[in-house]
Amino acid sequence: MTTTTPPPTPSLAQRAAVHVMPTYGEPRATFVRGQGSMLFEADGTAWLDLLCGLAVTSLGHAHPAVARAVGEQATTLVHTSNLYLTPPAVELAERLARITGWSDAKVFLAQCGATANEAAIKLARRHGKAQHPEKVRVVALEGSFHGRTLATLEATGQPAKHVPYEPLSGLVDHVPFDDPQALTAAVGDQTCAVLLEVVQGEGGVRPVPPEVLAAARDACDAHGALLIADEVQTGMGRTGPWFAFQETEVVPDVLTVAKALANGLPIGACIAHGAAAEVFGPGDHATTFGGNPVTCAAANAVIDTIEQGGLLGQAASRSRRLVAGLTSMIGTAPYAAGVRGRGLLLGLELDAAVAAEVEAACRDRNLLVNAVAPDVLRLAPPLTISREEVDLALATIADALRAVAVTHP
């Protein structure tokens, strides 16, 4: 009797290549488990995660408080639609009002950062059109990133991302991220909103200068426009306080948050106060899955855990350690030229366009970071990262820099 050898079982990457749209390029690793700051492959290989799923898992992977909240809610009530109330959604809105410091805040719960920003843009346009039918333009900053829906893509100040989807509406005006005079000149009576990040994440971990924030606030006040702060990446303690604007002199009318809000579950929120909170009425905006009880329960657990664990203070301490270690590489490790960012959203500036090579060298050493610009390496570790893990990451980055210097022409 002859036997035939069964064909080899295809890998997960091979299966994905058949049925998953390749919008993220070739996968660089496959993970099956996470715990704290670590991710694990099927064979047990451990990786130190200094990227947090793009600033999402700020409590680390598989945090017990979040897992417990999700499990309890999933066995109680998963979905009702927004025709009805659920306690987790109302409680989350109350918590968000408290941590923003806006007692009159009202919240629209969305599914992600793009849909939170989409809600904010619609709110601003509704507010503008109530003043004048042509008050619909938005001013945004070059280098910004606000999402991938058509409206948020157009607001994103990265023209290369626009090209495949043009023509766009033509209703967004972009100005340099560091030029307050240009921003002031761009805002006029047809402007309904200025949309900006306090720290540009995808734009290279670039803090927006205080003068630009102040100019945006003054211009909005002068022309009856709304100031929208996109804190999708910077919110929930990532830069120090709950929200990055809280370390500035400027208070926005509308705030968007997502990413770390539920530590990995899909959620976003558009938060408004003052007159902006009264713009939307019944039928003005909607979503099927926004305010889902399970994701809201996770978000409530995230807020409670950060508060009860003193994680804002702990994150500040870890930031100081990480910044000091990165700064010490300048002049001692190849390419290291500077450090920028805030809190635990940091960029290591390089003196050559080798960030992609350094990212790959870190990956070879089981450390996850990413090249957010040709000459900038982004680090966004969890707020819960330990001192020992910070030191391990620093040693690995320094080793990766030296390795690239050896092989790079």
What integer best gives the mean pLDDT of the chain? 96
DSSP 374: T
Q: pLDDT, tens digit, for every residue of 224-239?
A: 999 999 999 999 999 9
* Mean of pLDDT values over 326-344: 97
pLDDT at 4: 72
Roughly what angle, to the nearest 10 degrees, separates helices 293-308 and 87-100?
Answer: 40
Indicate if the pLDDT at residue 302 is higher than 90.
yes
Specify the CATH number of the domain 65-308.
Answer: 3.40.640.10
pLDDT at 5: 74
* Mean of pLDDT values over 5-22: 86
Indicate if the pLDDT at residue 168 is higher than 80.
yes
Strand order in the sheet with 370-373: 336-342, 345-350, 376-379, 370-373
Roughly what angle, to the nearest 10 degrees, separates helices 293-308 and 311-329?
Answer: 70
pLDDT at 1: 56
Q: pLDDT, tens digit, for every residue of 245-279?
A: 999 999 999 999 999 999 999 999 999 999 999 99
pTM of model > 0.75: yes
- Token pair belonging to 251: 């208070």
Indicate if the pLDDT at residue 208 is higher than 60.
yes
Q: Distance between CA atoms of 47 and 393, rounded to whole angstroms?
A: 11
The separation between the first and the last C-alpha atoms of the chain, rounded to the nearest angstrom, is 59
Indicate if the pLDDT at residue 214 is higher than 60.
yes
Indicate if the pLDDT at residue 310 is higher than 70.
yes
Q: Distance between CA atoms of 408 and 406, rounded to whole angstroms?
A: 6
pLDDT band at 8 (very low <50, low <70, confident <90, very high): confident
Strands 46-49 and 367-368: parallel
Secondary structure class of 285 (helix, strand, coil): coil
pLDDT at 278: 98
Q: Locate tokens 């809201």: which residue?
A: 296
Q: Give the residues across from 298 on adjacent strands.
A: none
pLDDT at 11: 86
Buried (b) or exposed (e) across 175-187, using 16+ Cβ within 10 A? bebbbbebbbebb
Q: pLDDT, tens digit, for every residue of 41-80?
A: 999 999 999 999 999 999 999 999 999 999 999 999 999 9
Domain positions in the chain are: 21-50+310-407, 65-308
Indicate if the pLDDT at residue 390 is higher than 70.
yes
Phi-psi region of 367 (alpha: psi -120 to 50; beta: other; left: phi over 0): beta
pLDDT at 24: 87
118 close to 285: Cβ distance less than 8 angstroms: no
* Mean of pLDDT values over 117-127: 98
Phi then psi for residue 263, to 5 deg, are 55, 35
Specify the CATH number of the domain 21-50+310-407.
Answer: 3.90.1150.10
Q: Distance between CA atoms of 224 and 31, rounded to whole angstroms?
A: 49
Q: Distance between CA atoms of 25 and 27, rounded to whole angstroms?
A: 6
pLDDT band at 331 (very low <50, low <70, confident <90, very high): very high
pLDDT at 7: 76
Report how far apart, in Å, the C-alpha atoms of 196 and of each of 142, 239, 321 are.
10, 16, 29
pLDDT band at 217 (very low <50, low <70, confident <90, very high): very high
